[in-house]
Structure 1
Amino acid sequence: MIRTFFCTAACVLTFAACQSTAKKLPIIGEREVVQKEIDGKMVTDTIYPAIPSFEFLNQDSVMLSDKFFDNKIYVANFFFTHCPSICPTMQRNLLKAYEKYKNDKRIAFLSHSIDFKYDQPHVLKSYATKLGVDNDQWQFVNGSKAAIYGLSDKYLVFTKEDPNVPGGYDHSGYLVLIDHDKRIRGAYDGTNNEEVEKLLTDIDILLQEYK
């Protein structure tokens, strides 16, 4: 009877493990179905939206491009260093993910400042250091208003310069999970602890795709 119990338990655990391994995250965004000719045959292909190429100045005054994130999973967000509202909570929560995966070369983090006037590299560097970031795994970048705000749309993040809100900038607090092909696989409220825990779980699920 005891032997039967353990055999049953083992089967249940094996099934659960297989279910967990088999689980895949959705690809977020409107997909486009196109037809193209390959070797003389017309085939149907599905194209998913992806984050376009970019180049920004980082906290070390070095130009950082999307190539830095090739063959990596990364989490992106939009913030500004003197934000008096959601940013402190959002960045502390993102720090949890950074600390969990610190020195894991498969994973990176990217914070875009939406304060194109004040958040120069030395400001970003000081902010990152105070937050507890001490390697290049988490990048903090700034650029022109057009470049940063235009890119935020691709991450499905709302950003706006608004003198009527605290700090002068309005934005959503999503932490956006990006895969190796620069596609969005999840978006999480960075101010919500349950959402952040889901992000951590989903990173582990996404890592399984690239084993």
Structure 2
Amino acid sequence: MSKKINYSYIGIAFIILVFGIIFIPKIIDRVNKDDIIRDESRSKDVSISEKGEGKNTNKSDLVFLEINGQPKKVPTFSFTNQDGKTITNEDYLGKVYVVEFFFTTCPSICPIMNRNLVEIQNQFKDLKNFGVASFTITPGIDTPEVLKAYAEKYGINNPNWHLMTGNEGAIYKLANEGFNLYTAKDETVDGGFEHSGNFALIDKEGFIRSRRDAFSNPLIFYNGLISEADGIDEDGIPQEITILKEDIAKLLKE
């Protein structure tokens, strides 16, 4: 009986010895490489974003504009900016930016919109990952030289604020289909053109984002026609520049 017990102890000791020889060096090596600390000993911040991508993320509470159930992404574009350089949608990847459609001879809403954008520009001064994309709807008039003078007039100095001109058809398609921001020629209105006074907010991956309204629906766009100083317009509509600044700050942290 004692011999059987001794043999059992010997067998157990042998198994422990083999385990130590094979596995302990591997465990020590993984600890030295921080593998265990990184993968097993710490919980990961992994979530499924609204785009359905599982990854480490710091996503804010801002929602995506969805078209037919799919998050709306900025389409491919290529235009010429105020410095004569070709700018594409890829130049904005990795940046949070605001989009507007305007024209330099606009006698009504464009000056208001761009003064508000300059105020936003100054709020995020010196941040390399913030920008603005301004597309002229009168490219036949707004050459790079004209856009350059306009930028100087309004104090536009962010290197990521591109005032762009190019093919008229491509610009109108980008406005109406790419961003769902209404733009059209209309000789019955001041300036001969009609366009949205709203701003679109784009995240670092090129998706259109916004906060929810009081009814939990996506705000979609931000009213660019009322300044923070004015507060509300004559119809009692409140300004949205403050919340746009807040939401830009949220996306910058993502």
Partner of 1:150 in structure 2? 173
DSSP 3-state at the match of 2:66 = coil
- Rate the CA distance shift 1:31–1:204 in 2: closer, same or farther, 3 A: farther
How far 1:208 sits from its partner (Å)? 2.3
Partner of 1:56 in structure 2? 79
* TM-score, normalised via structure 2 length: 0.66
Indicate if the aligned counterparts of 2:131 and 2:158 stay in contact, CA closer than 8 A: no
The 5-angstrom pairing of residues 104-143 of structure 1 reads 104-143=127-166
Number of residue pairs the alignment of both structures matches? 175
The structure 2 residue matched to 1:102, chosen from 97, 120, 125, is 125
Is 2:175 the partner of 1:175? no
Partner of 2:251 in structure 1? 206
How far 1:71 sits from its partner (Å)? 0.8
- When structure 1 is superposed on structure 2, of 186-195 and 109-118 the one drifting more is 186-195
DSSP 3-state at the match of 2:206 = coil
- Rate the CA distance shift 1:134–1:156 in 2: closer, same or farther, 3 A: same
Name segments (4+ residues, structure 1) moved above 3 Å. Answer: none
Give the Cα separation in 2 of the matches to 1:48 and 1:65. Answer: 20
- What RMSD in Å do the two structures reach over aligned CA positions? 1.5
Higher strand share: 1
Letter in 1 for 2:200: V
Higher relative contact order (CA 8 A, sep 6+): 1
How far 1:131 sits from its partner (Å)? 0.5
Indicate if the aligned counterparts of 1:174 and 1:188 stay in contact, CA closer than 8 A: yes
The 5-angstrom pairing of residues 32-43 of structure 1 reads 32=69
Which blocks of at least 5 consecutive residues in structure 1 are unaligned? 1-20, 33-46
Task: Provide Cα deviations, 1:134-157, integer angstroms capped at 9, x if missing partner.
Answer: 342211001111110000121120
Letter in 1 for 2:90: K
Partner of 1:10 in structure 2? none
- Rate the CA distance shift 1:59–1:22 in 2: closer, same or farther, 3 A: closer
Identity between Structure 1 and Structure 2 (%): 38
DSSP 3-state at the match of 2:100 = strand
Indicate if the aligned counterparts of 2:139 and 2:168 stay in contact, CA closer than 8 A: yes
Task: Provide Cα deviations, 1:58-107, integer angstroms capped at 9, x if missing partner.
Answer: 10111111111011111110000010111111110011111111220111
Indicate if the aligned counterparts of 1:74 and 1:177 stay in contact, CA closer than 8 A: yes
DSSP 3-state at the match of 1:139 = strand
The structure 2 residue matched to 1:191, chosen from 225, 230, 251, is 225
DSSP 3-state at the match of 1:75 = strand
Give the Cα separation in 2 of the matches to 1:95 and 1:155. Answer: 21
